[in-house]
Amino acid sequence: MSLFSKENGEVFMGPLNLNNPVTVQVLGICSALAVTSQLKPAIVMGLSVTVITAFSNVIISLIRKTIPNRIRIIVQLVVVAALVTIVSNILKAYVYDVSVQLSVYVGLIITNCILMGRLEAFAMQNGPWESFLDGIGNGLGYALILVIIGLVRELLGFGSILGFQIIPECAYMENGGLYINNGMMTMPAMALILLACVIWAHRAYNKDLD
């Protein structure tokens, strides 16, 4: 099979839309609610999950025929835990402020339903290249939803994007304007409402999903 065949294209593109792990499968929503109050941690979390999912898929695919069936979940967890530790240390070394914001949620990637689901459902049955594409696709599909929610929450909750002030100071009520930041956007409950809206919009656009 060609590296860039139609089948491989569907493996990569499916999770970005028609088989999105968050909006269709409703997986991994805990971190989507917890780390999206601002855009930067949402991006970092999304990229971290993408990298870990892609490389754990490849590793498990390479060794899948040598893993005894009775301990396959344990092996998968060990591989994921090793990658999570590496990513966590890289974040602490290069983006320490974001790693503090993400707190325990980087470590909890080990139990992310999306990641474990792809290892069990795809990497254990397919080759390394297909598994890599599947991991990248699902990771980016997950990251896309985090970015959308993080963008809306930071813009309406803080008036900024990536820390840069977007809504001018003169627009705020204390400066004679009419605008005031929506404090509810910084709360996890609003993340749940926004996620529900994204799921509704996605399913309304892709009516064939029903």
Predicted pLDDT at 3: 66
Reading the block at residue 149, the tokens are 């929610």
Q: How confident is the model at residue 208 (pLDDT cuts 50, 70, 90)?
A: low
| H or E stretch covering 120 | none
Amino acid at 29: I
Q: For the chain, how far is it from start to end, CA to CA, in angstroms?
A: 32
pTM: 0.89
Residue 47 contacts residue 136 (beta carbons within 8 Å): no
| Residue 144: how many other CB atoms lie within 10 Å | 18
For the chain, the average pLDDT equals 88
* Strand residue runs (E) in the chain: 160-161, 164-165
Q: How confident is the model at residue 2 (pLDDT cuts 50, 70, 90)?
A: low
DSSP state of 27: -
Tell whether the model's pLDDT for residue 131 goes beyond 90: yes
| Residue 80: how many other CB atoms lie within 10 Å | 23
Please name every residue paired with 179 in a beta bridge, in sequence order, or none if there are none: 172
Predicted pLDDT at 90: 93
Q: What is the pLDDT of residues 151-183, one digit of tens each?
A: 999 999 999 999 889 988 888 888 888 888 888
